[in-house]
Amino acid sequence: MLRIVENFYTLQGEGPNIGKPSYFIRLRYCFMKCHFCDSKYTWSNTNNDSDIILLTAEDIINYCSNIKYEYEGCTDIVITGGEPLFQENHTDLEIMCNCFKDKNITFETTMLFDFDNFLVSNWLQNMGIIRNKCKLYNNNSYIFSISPKFDIKSYDNINSQYNSLDIENIFKFYSLREKINKNIGDYFYFKIVFEYKMKEKIEYFLDNYVYHENREYIYLMPETIIPFNKDSGQDILNRECAEFCKKKKVNYSPRLHVDLWGLKRGV
């Protein structure tokens, strides 16, 4: 069963595909509690399923057919959340992916989709399994847009099960190292929210866990929840983020959808 909170046709607002017409499918649930989350409605009040779309395996096929018919020519499907990989059953996700043959599919994920596999040595392997299963049927590309969270408070729920989790473990978890391209999608990138108070942690992570040649896969986005205007003070943080990106040789990503629509849903 897939639980879909909303779906909509829009422009990708972040990262390397910014501005690209894309169809977004937003799934229910996330076990993190990031204070900057712009989709809290996917994980708060999760006992109430009254306003979401519930899809059985058969429903998924019809649902995807309708999207393909209505948005013919749209080449990109973005599966987001919440945490889109935190589903009861990954088979449902595979069914959805297999319906979108000839499309590029982007998963926007923390990668922390399975508590029991929250082990540094297993996570890439698990991701590779999902990707390879989907690849058995499709020729499309799989992109993993991975959002590391460096605020330890975001891990409160996980920490209740994994007492030893600390920031160094988290850095290790997200470490690229030599495994990156072999095991996960056809393309991946890291999308990191840039806040003043996280600056030192992000710098430490980049300096100690990311090979220099992999900097091209890193995108920093200034934290923002309101559209840009000259009185918001946002320009100061934007410039701080831009200077940091220049210094660390990583990419800067605006948040196009926030600039265009603020926190409005479904656009």
Q: Which tokens in the block code for residue 108?
A: 């926007």
Binding mask 106-145 for ligand SF4 (x = CB under 6 A): ----x-----------------------------------
Is residue 83 within 8 A of residue 37, CB to CB? The reply is no
Binds ligand SF4 by CB under 6 A, chosen from 13, 15, 81, 148: 81
Binds ligand SF4 by CB under 6 A, chosen from 83, 92, 151, 195: 83
In sequence order, which ranges of the chain are alpha helices (DSSP H)?
57-70, 90-99, 120-135, 156-159, 167-174, 180-183, 199-209, 234-248, 256-261
Nearer residue to ligand SF4 within complex by CB, 32 or 127: 32
Residue 253 makes contact with ligand SF4 by CB under 6 A: no
Beta strands in 67-209 (DSSP E): 76-80, 104-109, 142-146, 187-194
- Which single residue is written with the structure tokens 């320009």? 235
Q: How far is the CB of 34 from ligand SF4 (least distance, A)?
A: 3
**Residue 77 burial (CB count, 10 A):** 24
Q: How far is the CB of 212 from ligand SF4 (least distance, A)?
A: 27
List the interface residues with ligand SF4, window 208-237 (CB under 6 A): none
Closest CA to 25 of 130, 107, 131, 95: 107
In the chain, count H helices and then E strands: 9, 9
Residue 195 makes contact with ligand SF4 by CB under 6 A: no
Residue 170 makes contact with ligand SF4 by CB under 6 A: no
Binds ligand SF4 by CB under 6 A, chosen from 10, 11, 18, 39: 39
Nearer residue to ligand SF4 within complex by CB, 76 or 83: 83
User: Of the listed pieces 14-22, 34-42, 98-106, 163-171, which binds ligand SF4 according to CB under 6 A?
Assistant: 34-42
